[in-house]
Structure 1
Amino acid sequence: MAVLALTGFSSGCGHESRSDSSSSSGSSGRDAHGSGTSAGGSVSGTHLSQPTHRSTPTASPSSEPARPLKDGTAVLVSCASTDDPFAIVDIRNPNARDAVFTVKISFKDEHGFTMIDTRDQVSVPAKDTTTYRRAMAGAGPLDEIARCEVDPRATADR
C-alpha cells in the first residue's frame, strides 16, 4: 500500500510554471495542476495556493554604468633646463577609481614662442597624485627654453 502526502493545495490551474513543458507522456507523472508524482507515489514538487512573493531584482555594481570621470588637475613643479632636461608635473586624480589623463605641456623660449607642445597620457591611481617627468627632446637646444606652461586641467579620457 502506497501512502501519498501532500504539503499544499491548489485551487486553480492557471498559475503554475513547469520546468519541463516538453514532456507530455503519462510517465512524467504530472497531474492537471502541475504537481509531479513519480511512479512510486512520492511528491517531486508542490504547488501552493498562497501568493508567490517575488523580490525586485537590484542591479549589481558590475552591471551599473560607470560614472563619468571628473577631470584632474596638473601643476608644474619644475621646467626643463640644461641641468635637468625634464619638465616635472604633478597630476591629481579626484575620482574614486584609477584613470588616465591627458596632460598638455608647452616649452617656450624667452620671446614666448612655443618650441614644442606635448600631449601625454598619464595613469593616476584613484584619489591620488602622480609626479610625471616629460623629457624636452627634439625641440631645439635646452638652453633656449625660458619657461614651461602646463594646462591646469588634466582631461580625463572617457
Structure 2
Amino acid sequence: MSAMVVLALTGFSSGCGHGSRSDASSPRSNAQDPGTSAGGSSGDTHRSQPTHSPTPTASPSSETAKPLKDGTAVLISCASLDDPYATVEVRNPNERDAVFTMRMTFKDSNGATMITTTAQVPVPAKDTATDRLAVAGIGTGHLDQIARCEVNPRATADW
C-alpha cells in the first residue's frame, strides 16, 4: 500500500505509459517499481486499480452525422442492339460520399416489362456519377425487343 502512495505522490500513471518514475531529477526516483516488486502483490494491486481518466464521450462526427438523403437518377441513354447497356446519371445531394441503389426497367413496344434490374452506384459528395447497366437476363436474341428504358427517378441512399 505504501508503494501506491509513493507512486501517487510522484505522479506515476499506468495509463500514459510514462511518468515521473523515470525522471532522474525527481527526489522519489528511487521508489520501487510496482511491476518489479519483490514483496509480492503490490504491483498487481496497482495495476488492477481503475484509471482516473475522464469519461469518454461520443465523437462529434458520430453525433452530428445526418442521415443520408436519397439521390436522383436520370436516364442518359437506353440499351440497343448496338449498345446493350443503359446509361444512367445518379446525383448525390449529401455532404459526404454515398452509395445509391437505382432501379431500371426495360420495356418492349407494348409497354410490357421485359426485365427490371437494380445497381449500386458510389457517388462522391455533392456530385454525380454515371453508370452503365447491362441488359442481363433477357438474352441477346431479345435485345431488339427493347423499346424503352425507365429509371426510377429516386436513387435510394444505402450507405
TM-score (norm: length of structure 2): 0.62
Change in CA separation of 1:21 and 1:60 when aligned onto 2, cut-off 3 Å: farther
How far apart are residue 63 of structure 1 and its match? Answer: 4.0
Matched to 2:79, the amino acid is: A
How large is the RMSD of aligned CA atoms in angstroms?
2.8
Aligned twin of 1:69: 68
Matched to 1:96, the amino acid is: E
Aligned twin of 1:153: 154
Change in CA separation of 1:58 and 1:118 when aligned onto 2, cut-off 3 Å: same
Matched to 2:75, the amino acid is: L
How far apart are residue 139 of structure 1 and its match? Answer: 1.2
1:61-115 CA distance string (max 9 Å, x none): 3342521001000000010001111000000001010000010000000111111
Aligned twin of 1:100: 99
State the percentage of identical aligned residues.
66
Change in CA separation of 1:22 and 1:64 when aligned onto 2, cut-off 3 Å: farther
Q: Which runs of 5+ in 2 are unaligned?
A: 11-26, 29-55
Where do residues 77-116 of structure 1 align in structure 2 (5 Å cutoff)?
77-116=76-115
Where do residues 3-152 of structure 1 align in structure 2 (5 Å cutoff)?
23=4, 60-140=59-139, 141-152=142-153
Compare the two structures and name the one with the higher helix fraction: 2
Change in CA separation of 1:147 and 1:22 when aligned onto 2, cut-off 3 Å: farther
Q: Which runs of 5+ in 1 are unaligned?
A: 1-19, 30-37, 40-56
How far apart are residue 120 of structure 1 and its match? Answer: 1.1
